Amino acid sequence: MPSHSLLILCHEAPLAMRWRELLQPHTALQVRGFTNSPAAARALVAQHGADLVLMDLGLMASTTNGAIHSLRGGPHADLPHVLVVGTRLDDPLLLQALRGGADAYYIPGQGSMAEMVQHTLAGESPIEPELARQVLGLFDNAAPTDPADALASTPLQLTSAERRLLTQVMRGDSLEHIAEAETMGLNTLGITVRGIYRKLRWLLRAGALSLEGGAGARLELQIRPQAARNR
């Protein structure tokens, strides 16, 4: 089994040490270091590289959505993988982290941390009913209102398979149950969820660009009268 290098980004040293202890028995997962500073984490990733960053979800409260992008060197990069660790599924920071670029999440008590790290490295992501409802709502709110626009498929729209999966999870079906009922591989569903989260990132960026465009238009209207007076 190939080995993978990990970096821990956590606000408390004792908690980071605990995470390292949980991963230590798994020789394929090598923790290269830990820090509580996003800036230091960026430097470590740039200098030594990392396959995955294990990030304390609580840090999202004190950082911007660009924090995860900066770990990767830009918004268009997909590596290193970022796995956020929280304390509860209803934490609003969880959706914020996924929109900001996180690949997956881990809540203690739901399987082992090492297993979730391995699933994340394999390109898979988890999802729960409430999170599925929130994600589906974000895509529905961003759907085009013009019927002509709705006919044109864009990378930001959910496919019928993705929408069906979110609806099933929202209704209470686990990924394990769906995989068994539809004779699909569980890893295939996990990869599908990862694809949805990636679209979620682009959805956020598209919204930001739309807002910037609107602000630019308003600024132009404010400047024109002044320019006319200077002629």
Same domain as 9, residue 96: yes
Average pLDDT on 4-19 reads: 96
Torsion angles phi and psi, residue 24, rounded to 5:
-55, -40
Q: Is the pLDDT of residue 210 over 80?
A: no
Same domain as 134, residue 94: no
Average pLDDT on 44-60 reads: 91
Of the candidates 123, 151, 169, which is a domain's last residue? 123
Report the Cα 54 to chain-centroid distance in Å. Answer: 13
Of the candidates 123, 156, 184, which is a domain's last residue? 123
For all residues of the chain together, what is the average pLDDT?
84
Q: Is the pLDDT of residue 52 over 50?
A: yes
What strands, in cross-sheet order, belong to the sheet with 29-35? 29-35, 4-9, 52-56, 81-85, 104-106
Instruction: Give the three-class secondary structure for 30.
Output: strand
Domains identified in the chain, total number: 2
Same domain as 10, residue 31: yes
Average pLDDT on 178-189 reads: 96
Among the listed residues 140, 137, 131, 143, the one whose alpha carbon sits nearest the alpha carbon of residue 102: 131
Give residue 43's domain range: 1-123
pLDDT value, residue 65: 58
In this structure, the strands spanning 104-106 and 29-35 are unpaired
User: Residue type for 188, please?
Assistant: T
